[in-house]
Chain A
Amino acid sequence: MSARTADRMPPPVLGPGPARSLRPAIRLIRLYAVSRRLPAALALLAACAAGLRGALYKHWDDYGALQLPLTFEAACAAIIAVTAGSPFGDPERATGRRLPLLRLGAAAALTALAAGLLAAAGAGMPLAGGFPALLRNLAGLTGLGLLGAVLLGGPLAWTGPLAYLFAGVYALYTDWHPPALSTPWLWPGRPPHDVGGALCAAAVFAAGLIAFTVRGGRAAADS
């Protein structure tokens, strides 16, 4: 039997049409999710949202009120970034044709879920900056995390969001203690509806998402 005749042969009958095409896809998604510890990540994202909700019940001074949400946003971004690491490395890259789609879907879905969970946690509470600032900060931090995953590998991808958390906290601090850091690349220090800050955060998120979709997490050398 030549390759041409094999191409013309009907596929083996596994069951009804739609279910037949969905089942492998679902199985692939499930395996991808399990290999990246997505269930644990979901639980931790929910825990972060619960932590934010609990923290918002406390009275914070001006610094605390502004810096608090950023801390939880950075934690969520770090969690998303850490899921980028693959336990299989090159064999998976060589065989998985649909990996880019899975990476894109998982990263985007986790980011959207984290934004939703944090927004729900802040609903009805004095969340500094509101949803626009939350979305901007989370997207930008996640973009940094995904870029970190591409450059450093999944296990070390948390360094980007957490180092940036520190920079963001300081940018917010300088709003009281001039000279204020006004560059839009330090978007947490900008007002919630600031276009420059939002564009920078969106650019970083897009860059991170594209790079991660195309390249995936780097197989990091462990120390």
Chain B
Amino acid sequence: MRRAGTSFLSSGRLLRIELRRNAMLWLLPVAVVLFWYNGYRNIMALPPMWNLRAMALQNRLLLDLIIPVTGAAAWMGSREGRRDITDLLAATARPRWSRQLATWAATTAWAEAGCLGCIAVIYAMTARQAPWGGPLWWPAAVSAAGVPALTAIGFAAGAWFPGRFVTPLVTVVAFFGLAFGTQAASGDHSCWQISPLTAGAVGIGAAPGVATFYRYLPDLSIAQVMFTAGVTAAVLGALGLSAAGNGRRLRWLAAVITVTGLGAAGTSVALAGTGRLDPHGMIVIPALHDAASGQPVGYAPRCSRTVIPVCVHPAYSAFLPVVTAAMGAELTELAGLPGAPARISQVPVVYQLGPDRSVNVGASDQGVSSFALPDMLPGLFGTTSADFAGQLAQNLGVQLVSDVILGGSGGAAKPSPAQLAVIGGSVRFPASVEDRDLAPLFGRLLPSPGSPASLAARRFAELTPAAKHDWLAHHLAALRVGRISLAQLP
């Protein structure tokens, strides 16, 4: 008992010394600067939604830490060899593996402190800005679990090859492997999505529609944590196996840890290969899936005070003014007309994998009273409010106006030129929307450019929303049955 206590105390002392004399401490400012440069600015530029920021954090943070963390770990791992004191220290009471683990633990502690600090800053800022929801912990857990794996790889490389070139080389190899490894993943069955930098499904990633209406599925994150923990254990175990001067018991222990780590890592890779994309944009791994976690999240929608209220999920409430500004004229024009909705509600988007492994995004239930907001929100990857308004006009605007004008028979019969002209004159497209964007709708829901219907649509578009409303209130029934000609349009 006394011996165990003494050993514990001396281990604590050794760890304290290693913490004070650790290269990672000096590289922490570098790590913070890299994270600010690449991660923080980008993450904070995203709309204040927990899902976007947490998933982007997973994608960025570990990438930002690779160079300083792996470099510092390799530097510390090569210390004994660099100074030619391996033989000198072999005469001390502690086995080499034990000394190495203390150095690795100190390096990991500093790196983990930096990682958790970055997570804390991002989450604290998001907590102040996000209108709805709470922190997603799984993406943060994957990042935190990746740090010991990086330090283990760097440390082991430094210990095994203590030359002057090992630190830069292992750092570049780790950077190359992690940063470029994600490119190998495609589709939902790829083993490569085990990379801790892969946040969510490949081809979707951090999208507003993921983990908003439904809970964040931790399946892939669990596999990733399992993988990084397995790699850490395997590498550290191998370090114990290779270190000279370890006793037989220590070597057995190291062998067991190595085999366990390899088993965990291999299993997690195999599990990642069984993933499939669920309709809500997340990866389901059957062996890890909890059916209860796929339930929708309850919420109270936020609605606008327009003539036809537009209701969105509270996570999107920051975009409600943009939506109402983009659709205000159409709403005024259609309010109270037969077939016009009393309220329009946002519905979730549905993600499907196409035959070429591309991801198709559509509304789960799009009708006259429901709509899906485009995934490209203002502020996301340089999307402007004008781009967003253009997407809204193409989707919600055309859908809403055509449903009312055609009386819900859109697609059943070919619309008359007058109907096309009224639809074309009612939907306001921003200047950013070009004819080629609307080409699939020409002749079906919009008049073709240069046609007589197009000229009539321009005339109709010049009316005020109130004037359009008045005209439609008197002529909608006749327009729907095709008794209005282009010449009769105002």
Instruction: Mark A residues whose CB is within 8 Å of B.
Output: 37, 40-41, 44, 60-61, 63-64, 67-68, 71, 74-75, 78-79, 81-83, 85, 154-155, 158-159, 161-163, 165-167, 169-170, 177-179, 222-223
User: Given the known A-B contacts A71-B172, A158-B71, A158-B167, are A166 and B38 also in contact in the complex, defined by CB atoms under 8 Å?
Assistant: yes
Bound CA–CA A74/B169 (angstroms): 10
Is A223 touching B23 in the complex (CB atoms < 8 A)? yes
Please name the 7 residue pairs, one residue from A and one from B, whose CB atoms are nearest each other, closest first.
A158-B168, A78-B168, A75-B172, A178-B382, A170-B38, A223-B23, A64-B183
Tell whether, in the assembled complex, residue B382 and residue A41 are in contact, meaning their CB atoms are under 8 Å apart: no
Residue from B75, B83, B163, B171 within 8 A of A162 (CB atoms): B171
A-B pairs with beta carbons under 8 Å apart, 12 shown: A60-B180, A75-B168, A75-B169, A78-B169, A79-B169, A85-B164, A155-B167, A162-B71, A165-B175, A170-B38, A177-B382, A222-B83
State whether B171 touches A158 (Cβ < 8 A): yes
Are B183's CB and A61's CB within 8 A?
A: yes
Q: Is B34 an interface residue when CB atoms closer than 8 A count as contact?
A: yes
In the complex, how many angstroms separate the beta carbon of B81 from the nearest chain A beta carbon?
A: 12
Contacts A177-B382, A178-B382, A223-B22 known; A162 to B180 CB distance under 8 Å?
no
With a cutoff of 8 Å between Cβ atoms, the chain A residues found around residue B38 in the complex are 166, 170
Please report the C-alpha to C-alpha distance between residue A161 and residue B183 in the assembled complex, in whole angstroms. 24
Minimum Cβ distance to chain A for residue B43 (Å): 13
Contact A177 B381 (CB under 8 A): yes
Q: Which of A67, A82, A162 makes the CB contact (< 8 A) with B67?
A: A162
Kindly report which residue of chain B lies nearest to residue A162, judged by CB atoms.
Answer: B67
Q: Are A82 and B168 in contact (CB under 8 A)?
A: yes
Q: Which chain A residue lies CB-closest to B34? A: A166
Give the complex CA separation of A174 and B70 in angstroms.
25
User: Please, which residues of chain A bring their CB within 8 A of the CB of B26?
Assistant: 223
Q: Does B188 contact A (CB under 8 A)?
A: no
Interchain CB contact under 8 A, A82 and B23: no
Interface range for B:
20 to 34
Which residues of A have CB within 8 Å of B165? 37, 40-41, 44, 79, 82
B175 contacts A159, CB within 8 Å? Answer: no
Select which of A63, A71, A81, A167 is within 8 A of B37 by beta carbon: A167
Rounded to whole angstroms, the CA-CA distance of A100 and B22 in the bound complex is 33
Please tell me if B21 contacts chain A, counting CB pairs below 8 Å.
yes
Q: A82-B164, A222-B83 are in contact. Are A64 and B180 (CB under 8 A)?
A: yes
Do A68 and B22 touch across chains, with their CB atoms under 8 A apart?
no
The distance in angstroms between the C-alpha atoms of A223 and B488, with both chains bound, is 87
The answer to whether B71 and A223 touch across the interface, beta carbons within 8 angstroms, is no
Interface residues of B (CB under 8 A from A): 21-23, 26-27, 30, 34, 37-38, 42, 64, 67-68, 71, 75, 79, 82-83, 163-165, 167-169, 171-172, 175-176, 179-180, 183, 381-382
Distance to closest chain B CB from A56 (angstroms): 12
Residues of B near A154 (CB, < 8 A) are: 164
A170 to B75, CA, bound (A): 25
Closest residue of chain B to A145, judged by CB? Answer: B168
Chain B residues with Cβ below 8 Å from A78 are: 168-169, 171-172
Enumerate chain B residues within 8 angstroms of A163, measured Cβ to Cβ: 30, 34, 67-68
From known contacts A61-B183, A166-B38, A223-B26, infer whether A155 and B164 are also in contact, taking CB-CB under 8 Å: yes
A61: nearest residue on chain B (CB-CB)?
B183
Q: How far is the CA of A75 from the CA of B173 in the complex (A)?
A: 9
Q: Across the interface, which residues of A come within 8 angstroms of B82, CB to CB?
A: 155, 222
A82 to B34, CA, bound (A): 22
Q: Which A residues are in CB contact (< 8 Å) with B167?
A: 155, 158
CA A223 to CA B183, docked complex, whole Å = 37
In the complex where A82-B168, A158-B171, A178-B382 touch, is A165 in contact with B67 (Cβ < 8 A)? yes
Residue of B nearest to A155 (CB): B164
Min CB gap A216→B, angstroms = 16
Residues of chain A with a CB closer than 8 A to B175's CB: 71, 162, 165-166
Q: A75-B168, A158-B167, A159-B27 are in contact. List 9 more A-B contacts (CB 8 A).
A: A60-B180, A158-B168, A161-B168, A163-B30, A165-B175, A166-B34, A166-B38, A177-B381, A223-B26
B-chain residues with CB within 8 Å of residue A83 when the two chains form the complex: 164
A159 and B30 form a contact (CB under 8 A): yes
Would you call B179 and A169 a contact (CB within 8 A)? yes
- Could you tell me the distance in whole angstroms from the C-beta of A18 to the nearest C-beta in chain B? 36
Chain B residues contacting A167 (CB-CB under 8 Å) are 37
Query: How far, in whole Å, are A223 and B25 apart by their CA atoms in the complex?
Result: 11
Residues of B within 8 A of A40 (CB): 163, 165
- Residue in A75, A154, A178 with the greatest tally of chain B CB atoms within 10 Å: A75
Taking CB atoms, residues of chain A closer than 8 Å to B34 are 163, 166
Distance of A162 Cα from B27 Cα, bound (Å) = 13
Q: Which residues of B contact A68 (CB under 8 A)?
A: 180
Chain A residues within an 8 Å CB radius of B27:
159
Which interface residue of A37, A71, A83, A170 has the most chain B CB atoms within 10 A? A170
CA distance A37 to B179 in the complex (A): 30
Q: Report the minimal beta-carbon distance from A76 to chain B, rounded to whole angstroms.
A: 10
Smallest CB separation, A55 vs chain B (Å): 8
CA distance A81 to B167 in the complex (A): 12
CA distance A212 to B6 in the complex (A): 50
List the A side residues contacting B79 at CB < 8 Å: 222-223
Instruction: Please name the residue on chain B nearest to A169 by beta carbon.
Output: B179
In the complex, what residues of A have CB within 8 A of residue B68's CB? Answer: 163
| B23 proximity list for chain A (CB < 8 A) | 223
Contact present for B179 and A74 (CB under 8 Å): no
**Which A residue sits closest to B63, measured CB to CB?**
A166
* Neighbouring A residues of B168 by C-beta, 8 Å: 75, 78-79, 81-82, 158, 161-162
